[in-house]
Amino acid sequence: MSDTVEKRAICFTCAQQCGHVATVRDGMVVRLHGDRDHPRTAGFICPKGAQAHDLHHSPDRLHSPMKRRGARGSGDWEPISWDQALDEIADRLQQLAKAHGAETVAYTFGTIRGSDYSIGTRFMNLFGSPNSVGQDKICLGPITLGEFLTYGFGPSSPDLQPGVTRSLVLWGARPSQSARPAWHTMEKVLDAGAKCIVIDPARTEEAGRVDIWLRPRPGTDAALGLALLHEVIAARPDDSDFISRHTVGFEELKERAANYAADRVASITGCAAEDIRAAGKILCEDGPTAFVAGNGLCQTGVRTVQHGRILACLVALTGNLERKGGQALLGPPRDILANGDFMARDALDIAQRAKALGAEHFASIAHYDQIDETVARAWYGKRGIPHWLSTAHEPTLWQAILDGRPYPVKALIIQGHNPVGGSANTGEVREALLGDGLELLVAHDLFLNATSCLADYVLPAAHWLEKPHFSMGAASLAWSGDYVEAGTAVIPPQYEHRSDYDLFKGLGERCGQAEHWPERVEDFYDMMLAPAGMTFAELARNNGPLSGDAARKPASEAAAMPRGEVFGTLSGKIELRSDMLAAWGLDPLPDFRLSGIFARQDEFPLVLVTGGRKIEGFHQSSQQTPAFRRKNPDPVVTLHHDLAASAGIAEGQWIAIETPVGTVRQRAHIDDIYPSKVVHADRWWYPERAGPSSDPFGVAETNINMCTSNSLEDSDPIMGSWLMRGLPCRIVP
Ligand code: SF4
């Protein structure tokens, strides 16, 4: 007789963390559906969440550790035990650190795959290396840093209240595809009569609900933002009490924005001047306004942090900061260690912190501790709150491996990340991983992919269904104040799958860190919960989230301490002119310029956008899901009818896409989603093209990141964000 049970879970297929109910039959997850009782997502489930068990049970999963036998990338492996793998890797890491310094060991991780996401940063800090490399530079980090620099705190969340929120701005964001639960709330806000401004070159589902649709040429959003600031500033009295009491730099910002009058910006962006003015009018007259910014603003190279600053200034000057129905600054839970304590940053001494890859070029990496102090001033004195912005710079990592600048990186651990598919300039990434500079490459993943197939050791990762969950309300909630939820694993780890925590605990124990790694991840979560007077087991028994007073120890010191009105900036005010940027020798005011690569616009007259989300997929990780591949058998480049007609291109035809960085080919899809001079191309790899070849997984042939740029001159000067959206390109039938 079969044994069937239902179990509540939190989905980590993407970052939204929706409540699920899993049906488990004889140890197999046979169905996932939305948890109607979940107070935040109320039964919602998207196609990829509903198919998460297909990914988990995929016949292509890695089930045991493997060690490379032949040449790197040859596909010749021998299975080994976890103990052998951990012993050999730990030995090698320690030898290399002894020979070259601990900074020669780097760790890079991708998007969230469970509650123990990025836990390798703890191992790295205890090991003495500052080179934990995340994706914050291209994933909401620039928006958040813009807020830190402006308010001394962030990130803010749209306070979406149907009937209260009177206008909504969606800028470079497609929540209908990337954050569906939040989109449902936005639809209710719009149904209740709120006006909607969409800023996106693409005709999205969201654009179907708009009052004003602005379609800036990709890469020119900062100019548009400055034009909106100009409209807002022109419409408000200069001497208002708010300006004098709570801001610095108003006159300077006013002067800067005056260079970006709607008529001039129309010629830069391609947006109609009257539409820019109409959007400005809505911002001035139809508040409260909630702002939703997406990664469309974070992957445009040279002006990503300035986009964040512009947005923060717009929110402040339209009176929407901390306004009901506008933008809320909730922060992380107060008593739970939702900060850098659990990443052990204090274990890394000042001299080692200064060696973080990218620090010589990018101020936010060199001066992370100043950002940390800024946020601590606004948040109960707690350090480490913005720890996820403390990561090193990925393109500098490839450079350090390839030519030893600024120093050689000899060992790399890659976890839940496929940089040969997902990072900019993947030709260079592959060259770095295959070259002689790297003496040890370890990959911990669910599958062999274009990156893990190059490793010296491949370690089988546990899927989120096999791990306990612990959620503090990330993703669409941003920081949601006092909110916490936990639960036990849906099924125990199968085969030899191991969690991220268990991998680094195993390495930590072998590298002299045993006292820092509690036996089980649940014990580790207990450590994080201790200040709130809770345990993981109690929370898991609660079988659902706790929020507000229930999520903290009511009599605690932090709970008794109001945040006050002081902003964490150096001036204690909203800095329209950033004192910190000035202290770093950078322009303290928001501005606009195009990436250097546009100097070749004459040869490459079109504009390329990459990485648009499909609801069935999540970045690089859905390629093995049968439903995803049925719908997406090949990579697609989307182009306008006029462009296709003028180039003589037919639907479904394979065409070449060329940029100054590289060339790939994809299937043409003709649709007027984008304007006639803009094309969109997929990130791509074919799981079925595994195995040794000159182009495993078809990346060099088809992945658009062969054509994106990670050069210094195309990167943001504050944070180092690389360029994946808004590159000059051409197409060849
Ligand atoms: S939106 Fe994300 S978290 Fe929610 S069901 Fe879909 S994949 Fe899972």
What average pLDDT values come out for the chain (733 residues) when binned by 10 residues? 87 89 95 92 89 92 96 93 98 98 97 88 98 93 95 90 97 84 90 96 84 94 97 84 91 97 97 98 96 89 93 96 91 78 90 97 96 88 84 97 97 96 95 96 95 96 95 63 89 97 98 98 94 92 83 62 69 95 96 88 95 77 83 95 97 98 97 95 90 86 96 94 95 94
Q: Is residue 427 part of a domain?
A: no
What per-residue confidence (pLDDT) applies to 584? 96
Range of the domain at 699: 596-732
- Taking the C-alpha atoms of residue 217 and residue 272, their distance in angstroms, rounded to an integer, is 12
Please, which residues have CB within 8 angstroms of residue 541's CB and are 6 or more apart in sequence?
none
Spacing, Cα 617 to ligand 1 middle (Å): 10
**Ligand 1 contacts CB of residue 625 (under 6 A):** no
Strand, coil or helix: what is 178?
helix
pLDDT of res. 479? 62
- Spacing, Cα 36 to ligand 1 middle (Å): 14
Cβ of residue 355 lying under 6 Å from some atom of ligand 1: no
State which H helix or E strand residue 664 sits in: strand 663-670
> How far apart are alpha carbons 318 and 315 in whole angstroms?
5
Note the pLDDT of residue 68: 96
Residues 6+ apart with CB under 8 A from 692: 73, 74, 75, 76
| pTM (predicted TM-score) | 0.95
Do residues 531 and 335 touch, judged by C-beta distance below 8 A?
A: yes
Angstrom distance (rounded) from CA 406 to CA 508: 27
Q: Residues 573, 678: one domain?
A: no
| Any domain includes 267 | yes
Could you give the 3-state DSSP secondary structure of residue 54? helix
Question: 560 Cβ partners below 8 Å, 6+ apart?
Answer: none
Task: Name which of 516, 551, 559, 546 is nearest 533 in CA terms.
Answer: 551
Task: Report residue 586 as tokens.
Answer: 């950078």
- Whether 298 and 256 map to the same domain: the answer is yes
In terms of domains, do 666 and 574 share one? Answer: no
Q: Are residues 208 and 312 in the same domain?
A: yes
Instruction: Please tell me whether residues 726 and 579 are part of one structural domain.
Output: no
Which among 514, 556, 515 has a CA at the least distance from the CA of 532? 556
In a domain, 86, yes or no: no
Structure confidence at residue 615 (pLDDT): 75
Cβ(16) – ligand 1 distance below 6 Å = yes
Q: How far is the CA of 171 from the centre of ligand 1 (A)?
A: 21
Report pLDDT for 556: 57
The reply to whether 688 falls in a domain is yes
Q: How many residues does the chain have?
A: 733
The answer to whether residues 619 and 574 belong to one domain is no
DSSP-assigned letter for residue 498:
B
Asked if residue 388 belongs to a domain, the reply is: no
How much is the pLDDT for 388? Answer: 84
User: What is the full DSSP assignment across 502-567?
Assistant: HHHHHHHHHTT-GGGS-SSHHHHHHHHHGGGT--HHHHHHHTS-EEGGGGS-TT-HHHHS---S--
pLDDT of residue 465: 97
Q: Kindly give the pairing relationship between strand 636-639 and strand 663-670.
A: parallel
In a domain, 456, yes or no: no
Residues 573 and 605 in one domain: no
Partners of 23 in beta bridges? 6, 31
Among 583, 606, 623, identify where a domain stops: 583
pLDDT at 426: 95
Residue 622 DSSP label: -
- Pair 579, 616 in one domain: no
Report the CATH number that the domain containing residue 713 is assigned in CATH. Answer: 2.40.40.20
Atom of ligand 1 nearest to the CA of 12: 3
- Would you give the DSSP letter of residue 321? B
- CA 383, chain centre distance (Å): 22
Query: How far lies 539's CA from each of 474, 499, 545, in Å?
Result: 17, 21, 8
- Give the per-residue pLDDT at 183: 87
Instruction: Identify the CA nearest to 9 among candidates 467, 501, 615, 445.
Output: 467
- Index of the ligand 1 atom closest to the CA of residue 14: 2
CA dist., res. 312 & res. 306, Å (int): 10
Helix/strand number for the chain, H first, E second? 27, 27
What are 37's two structure tokens? 């009782």
Closest approach atom of ligand 1 to CA 16: 3
Structure tokens at 158: 């749209």
Q: Are residues 576 and 666 in the same domain?
A: no
Same domain, 576 and 608: no
Phi, psi for residue 170 in degrees, rounded to 5: -110, 115
To test the ligand 1 pocket, which listed residue (8, 10, 12, 16) has its Cβ within 8 A of the most ligand atoms? 16
How close is the Cα of 619 to the center of ligand 1, in Å? 13
